[in-house]
Every structure is written in C-alpha cells, then in structure tokens.
Amino acid sequence: MSARFAFELLATDGAARLGRIDTPRGTIRTPAFMPVGTAATVKAMRPESVAETGADVLLGNTYHLMLRPGAERVARLGGLHRFMNWERPILTDSGGFQVMSLAELRQLTERGVTFRSHLDGARHELTPERSMEIQRLLGSDIAMAFDECPALPADRRRIEESMRLSMRWAARSREAFGDRPGHALFGIQQGGLERDLREESAEALRSVGFDGYAVGGLAVGEGQAAMFGVLDYAPAMLPADRPRYLMGVGKPDDIVGAVKRGIDMMDCVLPTRSGRTGQAFTRRGPVNLKNARHRDDPRPLDEACGCPACRSYSRAYLHHLFRAGEILSAMLLTWHNLHYFQEIMAGMREAIAAARFAEWEAAFHRQRAEGDIDPI
Amino acid sequence: MSARFAFELLATDGAARLGRIDTPRGTIRTPAFMPVGTAATVKAMRPESVAETGADVLLGNTYHLMLRPGAERVARLGGLHRFMNWERPILTDSGGFQVMSLAELRQLTERGVTFRSHLDGARHELTPERSMEIQRLLGSDIAMAFDECPALPADRRRIEESMRLSMRWAARSREAFGDRPGHALFGIQQGGLERDLREESAEALRSVGFDGYAVGGLAVGEGQAAMFGVLDYAPAMLPADRPRYLMGVGKPDDIVGAVKRGIDMMDCVLPTRSGRTGQAFTRRGPVNLKNARHRDDPRPLDEACGCPACRSYSRAYLHHLFRAGEILSAMLLTWHNLHYFQEIMAGMREAIAAARFAEWEAAFHRQRAEGDIDPI
C-alpha cells in the first residue's frame, strides 16, 4: 500500500521489465494482465474468484458504464470499487475506443465526440474533460487520456491527423484531470505503424507529463508481426521510469511477445469472452471444448493447472456443460482462462527476476508447439 | 455416514417431523430442501457453493441426463457424483414426469412410454426397468419408482387408471431395483385429490415396501388450498418410520405448509429458475430486482441475510446486473434464493426440535406480511 501512485522498476532482462505499481488500493505486480470488467463485472466471475486467479487490477469501461448504470449513479452509490465489490486497483479506459467501435451516429470535432448510445439511442457527448470527469466519478485508480484511434490499415494522413488530435486531447485530459494524489493519469501514444509519428506522439506526451504511458492504436487489425514491429521500438520512446501499457492485447503469445519488448501492463477480453464460447487456453495451446472429441474424455482440461475447472472436472463434463448451454460452462472456462493468463504473467515475472526470460519464453513456445493431448 | 440407508425420526411437533437420513455419502437433515441439478449442474452455481448454502442432497433428472450426456456415458465417467463434482447424496427422479411434460410423440402402454427427445427427436423408451437401470448407472443414492402423473384438474376415472398403472409400475420398479445396500428406492403415492384413491395407492405401496414414500401428483395445477387439503391426510397414510417426499414443491409458504403437514423432503426449480429471471425470495416476501425502484438503492436485498449477494452488493448493483444481462446476476440471485430456502429449512428443523413450530410458522407469515422494505 502507498498513499501515492508510484512505479518501481525492480529488474530488467533484455527489454523485459519486472516492476511494481503501488497505489492506495494495493500493489500491482508488473508485467500485469488486467481482466476486463466491462459493465462493472468480470463476466461470469465473482470478484473474489477474479482475485483468486492472481489479478491485481481490473479494467473498467468508461463508455459502457457512462451509459449504464451511469457515472453519476455509480458515484452516488460509493464509486465503482464498492459498487462491484472489488477493493483492489481499477484502471478505466477513456471511452474513446468504444465510442468509435460501438456507438451510432458519431460526430467527431476538435471538441470531442457526440454519439448515440447503442443501448437506447440516447444522445451523449464525450470530450477529454467529460471523460476525466466520468473516470473521477467512477473512482478509478488509473485513468486514461481521451484519445481517438483509427482502425488499421489506414492511410498515413488519417493516422497523422488522428494522432495530433489525440495529443491535443491528451494535454486537455491532463489539464482536466488536475492533481489527484493516489490517482494516476496515463497518456496514450498513437501513430499507427509509422515510426516517426510514434516518436512525435511520444515527444508530445513526454512534454505534457503523465504517470504512465500506453502504446495505443495496436491490436486493431494490423496482425502480430506488424504489432511486434512497432513494439520493437515504441516502448523505448516512452519514459523508462513509468509503467507502459499495451491496450487490448491479447492472445497468450501476443502477451509474451509484448512483455519481451518492454510492456508492463495489458488488458484483453479474450480470456473472458472465450470462456463463454467454449474456448480454453492452455499451456499446450487453445482447446475447443465444443469439439466432440472431448465427449468421453475423463481427463482434466490441463492436468497441471490448479484452477477449479481443471482440479474438479473432466473434459467430458466441460463439453457436456457447453453443449447443454449451462451457465457453469462460462463460469468454469472463464475462471480457467483467467487463471492461465495470470499464470503466464507470474511465470514471466519470475523469469525476469531470475534473468531467465529467454529460457522461459523458449519453454512457453515449445509447450505450445506440442499441441493438445491426443484424443483418448 | 452409514453403510446403509437409514431414516431416524428425531422429534415431532404436531404433524411436523424432524429427522435424519443416513447414507454412505452423508447425512440428510430433514425436513430437507433439495436443489435441482437438472443437467448435472445446479444452474449458475458451483457445487461448492450449493454445499455452502446448506444443501445436504441434490436432485438429478433422469429424463434430461438419459438424453444428454446419456446414462451409460455418465457411468463410464464414474457416475453422476464424480461427473458433476458433488460427493453428497443425490436423489434422481424416475423420468416419468418429464417425459409427460417435455417429450414429443409420447406413447403410453402397460410396458412403459416411448417418446422422441425434445433435443434431437431421437426415439427413446422408458419403462420401470429402464428407469431403474438409468438411475443405477447414474449412481443415485435415492431412486424414484417410475410412475405416470396426470396434470390436474383431471377426471376421476383418468386419475384412477393412472394411479393403478403407477402402482403396477411401482411393483416392477421395486423388482428391477433389487437389493442394493446403501441405496434407496422410494415409491410414489398417486390419486390426485381423491382421498380413497390416495389410500388405495398408499396401501399398494406399503404392500410392496419401499425405503421412503413420495406424495406425487401434487403441484401440478391444483393450487395451494387443494394441495394442502390432500396433505392434511395423505402423509399419514404412509409409514411413519420412512421419509416422506413431496415432489416439485414449491414456494416458501408451500414448503412451510407441507412440513407442517408431515413432509420431510422437497425439491423445486423455483429458487434456481427465479434466480435467472431477477426474482429473489426474502423473509419479507418476493422481490423483483428488474423493478426500477431498486436503481439507486444502496441497501442490500436483505440486510439480515448472510449470502454473498446480500453481504457484498446493493440492490442497485443487482438491478444493474440483471438489466445488463450479466451472468453474475443469475449467479448471485440463485445463490441468495438457495441460501434463503435452506435458511427456512434450518429454521423449521430448529423449531421442531424445540417444539415451537407453530410460533416459528406465525413469525414466518408475520414477516412476509410486512412486505418488502419501502423504496428509498
């Protein structure tokens, strides 16, 4: 615990970093994976269970929460932590990304974005100032600057204009956020796959000054190779003494590749969303429990996994639950996936501390290459 | 624990009975409420959580399990207890009731019922002999005789013929079940609302001899007053030294009225099904969390309840979860409802032990009559 927000870099191994973020609500061990709690719940999980998987911090979505139940309502009810019964740190996004992907009738101006809710068509506005206000009302520990992010591929001119707008919004976000001890504001680097634009963006953010820095505008359709290409240089453009957050990433191998390249924090809906569609992630790669090959299989999903799904149930049972449309299917597979993602993070943290990241990474890829166990 | 199935009557208070059923898989405290685990899962609950609510025994559905995943498959996988990770006792129904309510193209003969699966249209047959085989394959601790049960109202002739067929099937069920130490077979009294037919049915069952006796053919459309009318005399027709099970009941006040009239065991989907539709049961009556009155309410569903939904969340949050279609809504409300049903059972057991059932019952009705807390 700490009265203020502080990042400490504990060790490095190549570009990979081991660290800790102290906040008044607890410590975040980095590299950290943040489960996504879109609508004030990590879907199909009780928060106690999310904590059991090893998560130190959750992500909450400004766009979803502003529409339902509403930021002012959450504030009246004591803030997001209390509302959803999660006392550890929460990072909130700015709403910018989801306005662009979910809302209807968007109008983008220098001031911000007006749009219609995808839930009921009601008219809303998000600006850097309103985004900061919403994130303050929610009570998030780490707020994100309000930005705009084009899907890739996009032409250079579009990426450049968007990045410069986002940098002006970043400065307005910083101004609107003000001085809130114990709370952090992260700036978001943009610039697509253009190295000079990434540098221009990083320079703009550094000149404003943030408590942490995100690499934004990736995992938006460019593919892993292109993403890693940017991560080969982009993190080093950001201050080394602040946490670096890669937004919306990713699959297990994306995560490992990102940490290898100097990323400290990530979030993704993949483990939770996949948990609701019968898809499990394991040391030996993905396993689709819908598949009839599991119907008579008495073995656990992963014999080496300590999560409740693997400790207490057979593949045959998990297959049955999914086929029968049972809620317990989503509950168990989500738990397993979050557990596995946290296990990857813990493994990487240990490996960096021991200066054995390369060996850990090689073993990670070797196990995955083996593929799932043979059918019985 | 006990190597054999045994019922002990510990105390009575009026017609209400306190008892215990010992089985090799553990003790069932009676009066007992059995949560329903239709498809090898109590919907939206992990079995550890079901046990935490105080349930000693679950009900499994022969009809659902024979169709998916199949009784032979469950047996190959080590039986239903292991399959679903519930080591305590399981009672299975015979499949008769659900064939009549769910299956398609039913054909009823002296031999049994042929029907098409509501899942895939496949042709199946259930007979007393096959029902006993399925329940044995599932590994249930308490099996139910295969019977037929007409919906009410029905004319006397239909009820009489059906009851007599069920009694012939009961004798065949007993024969097919054989001698299985540690496992029990219950007979099911039929006869609708006709006292003389209930007596004839009870006599037929007693002459065969069962380990327990169910009052069947109620909670099928006759209303509470008519049901209580039958329960005023039917339980006393059954051997006092065996457990008495009222099938498919019911609402909290049905349960209390049934125990008052000498019933020891009950099951119902109400607490679990209602948990998925935003309906909670509390000491002060039902609460519909869909209702907008809860939107800004920071108070728990029931301040005196110790379940996770009431300990850690506001009505506003539970309302939000339901409106947002979140799985956690079903998880928390199901837990609450099962917790409350078990609390009623524990309260009645204590009251009977203390010979204060009438006072307990009066307090139960008094609290319900107060209704839900006023909106804020």
Neighbours of A9 (CB within 10 A): 15
By Cβ distance, the residue of B313, B324, B328 closest to A44 is: B328
* Residue B374, domain member (yes or no): no
* Residue B81, domain member (yes or no): yes
Residue contact A77–B317, C-beta within 8 A: yes
Q: Is the CB of residue B314 less than 8 Å away from at least one CB of chain A?
A: yes
Mean pLDDT throughout A252-265?
A: 98
pLDDT tier at B150, thresholds 50, 70, 90:
confident
Does residue B328 share a domain with residue B217?
A: no
Residues contacting B128, CB < 8 A, separation 6+? B112, B145, B146, B169, B170, B172, B173, B176
* Residue B192, domain member (yes or no): yes
Q: Is the CB of residue A312 less than 8 Å away from at least one CB of chain B?
A: yes
Mean pLDDT throughout B214-220?
A: 95
Q: Is the CB of residue A307 less than 8 Å away from at least one CB of chain B?
A: no
Does residue B228 share a domain with residue B120?
A: yes
Does residue A302 share a domain with residue A259?
A: no
Mean pLDDT throughout A74-82?
A: 98
Does residue A189 share a domain with residue A57?
A: yes
Is-contact B139 B62, C-beta < 8 A?
A: no
Cite the active site residues of B.
93, 267
Three-state SS string over chain B comes to CCCCCEEEEEEEECCEEEEEEEECCEEEEECEEECECCCCCCCCCCHHHHHHCCCCCEEECHHHHHHCCCHHHHHHCCCHHHHHCCCCCEEECCCHHHHHHHCEEEEECCCCEEEECCCCCCEEEECHHHHHHHHHHHCCCEEECCCCCCCCCCCHHHHHHHHHHHHHHHHHHHHHHCCCCCCEEEEEECCCCCHHHHHHHHHHHHHHCCCEEEECCCCCCCCHHHHHHHHCCCHHHCCCCCCEEECCCCCHHHHHHHHHCCCCEEECCHHHHHHCCCEEEECCEEEECCCHHHCCCCCCCCCCCCCHHHHHCCHHHHHHHHHCCCHHHHHHHHHHHHHHHHHHHHHHHHHHHCCCHHHHHHHHHHHHHHCCCCCC
Residue contact B328–A43, C-beta within 8 A: yes
Is-contact B211 B231, C-beta < 8 A?
A: no
Structurally, chain A folds into a number of domains equal to 2
Measured over the CA atoms of residue B353, residue B357, residue B363 and residue B369, the dihedral's sign is positive
By Cβ distance, the residue of A68, A78, A328 closest to B323 is: A68
CATH at residue A249: 3.20.20.105
Does residue A255 share a domain with residue A287?
A: no
pLDDT on residue A150: 83
Among B199, B194, B186, B78, CA closest to B137? B78
Mean pLDDT throughout A119-137?
A: 97
Residues in chain B: 376
Query: pLDDT of B171-211, one tens digit each?
Result: 999 999 999 999 999 999 999 999 999 999 999 999 999 99
Does residue B361 share a domain with residue B254?
A: no
Cite the active site residues of A.
93, 267
Does residue B92 share a domain with residue B43?
A: yes
pLDDT on residue B100: 86
Residue contact B40–A316, C-beta within 8 A: no
| Residues of chain A positioned with their CB less than 8 A from the CB of B330 | 327
Mean pLDDT throughout B246-256?
A: 97
Phi-psi region of A13 (alpha: psi -120 to 50; beta: other; left: phi over 0): beta
Closest chain A CA to residue B64: A324
Helix axes A156-177, A128-138, angle to 10 degrees: 50
Residue contact A327–B327, C-beta within 8 A: yes
Mean pLDDT throughout A54-59?
A: 98
Q: What is the mean pLDDT of chain B?
A: 97
Residue contact A39–B331, C-beta within 8 A: no
Residue contact A45–B328, C-beta within 8 A: yes
* Residue A376, domain member (yes or no): no
Residue contact A84–B317, C-beta within 8 A: yes
Residue contact B331–A46, C-beta within 8 A: yes
Does residue B215 share a domain with residue B158?
A: yes
Query: pLDDT of A144-174, one tens digit each?
Result: 999 998 888 899 999 999 999 999 999 999 9
Q: Is the CB of residue A306 less than 8 Å away from at least one CB of chain B?
A: no
Check whether B1 has a pLDDT greater than 60.
Answer: no
Whether pTM > 0.90 for this model: the answer is yes
Residue contact B39–A327, C-beta within 8 A: no
Does residue A307 share a domain with residue A260?
A: no
* Range 168-227 of A in CB contact (< 8 A) with B: none
From B268, B294, B325, give the residue that closes a domain: B268
* Residue B90, domain member (yes or no): yes
* Residue A336, domain member (yes or no): yes
From B211, B238, B268, give the residue that closes a domain: B268
From A201, A233, A268, give the residue that closes a domain: A268
* Range 238-297 of A in CB contact (< 8 A) with B: 276, 295-296
CA–CA gap between residue A284 and residue B356 (Å, rounded): 60
Closest chain A CA to residue B329: A44
By Cβ distance, the residue of B85, B296, B312 closest to A73 is: B296
Among B32, B11, B12, CA closest to B23? B32
pLDDT on residue A239: 98
Q: Is the CB of residue B45 less than 8 Å away from at least one CB of chain A?
A: yes
Q: Please name the helix (run of DSSP H) or strand (run of DSSP E) that holds residue A11, with its range, or none.
A: strand A6-13
Mean pLDDT throughout B65-78?
A: 98
Domain that holds residue A245: 6-268
By Cβ distance, the residue of A316, A317, A327 closest to B44 is: A327
| Residues of chain A positioned with their CB less than 8 A from the CB of B41 | 321, 324, 326, 328
Does residue B304 share a domain with residue B217?
A: no
Residue contact A324–B39, C-beta within 8 A: yes
Is-contact A142 A24, C-beta < 8 A?
A: no
Is-contact B295 A73, C-beta < 8 A?
A: yes
Does residue B186 share a domain with residue B76?
A: yes
pLDDT on residue A12: 98
Is-contact B145 B83, C-beta < 8 A?
A: no
* Range 73-102 of B in CB contact (< 8 A) with A: 73, 76-78, 83-85
Mean pLDDT throughout A57-67?
A: 98
Closest chain A CA to residue B326: A43
Å from B236 to nearest chain A CA?
40
Residue contact B39–A313, C-beta within 8 A: no
* Residue B51, domain member (yes or no): yes
By Cβ distance, the residue of A46, A68, A83 closest to B317 is: A83
Q: Which of B36, B76, B77, B323 to mutate to test the interface with A (most CBs of A within 10 A)?
A: B77
Query: pLDDT of A7-30, one tens digit each?
Result: 999 999 999 999 999 999 999 999
Mean pLDDT throughout B12-33?
A: 98
Q: Is the CB of residue B312 less than 8 Å away from at least one CB of chain A?
A: yes
Q: Is the CB of residue A320 less than 8 Å away from at least one CB of chain B?
A: yes
Among A100, A337, A57, CA closest to A220? A100
Does residue A170 share a domain with residue A97?
A: yes
Closest chain B CA to residue A298: B77
* Residue A1, domain member (yes or no): no
Residue contact A77–B314, C-beta within 8 A: yes
Å from A195 to nearest chain B CA?
41
pLDDT on residue A247: 97
Percent of chain B residues topping a pLDDT of 90:
95
Among A202, A17, A213, A276, CA closest to B328? A276
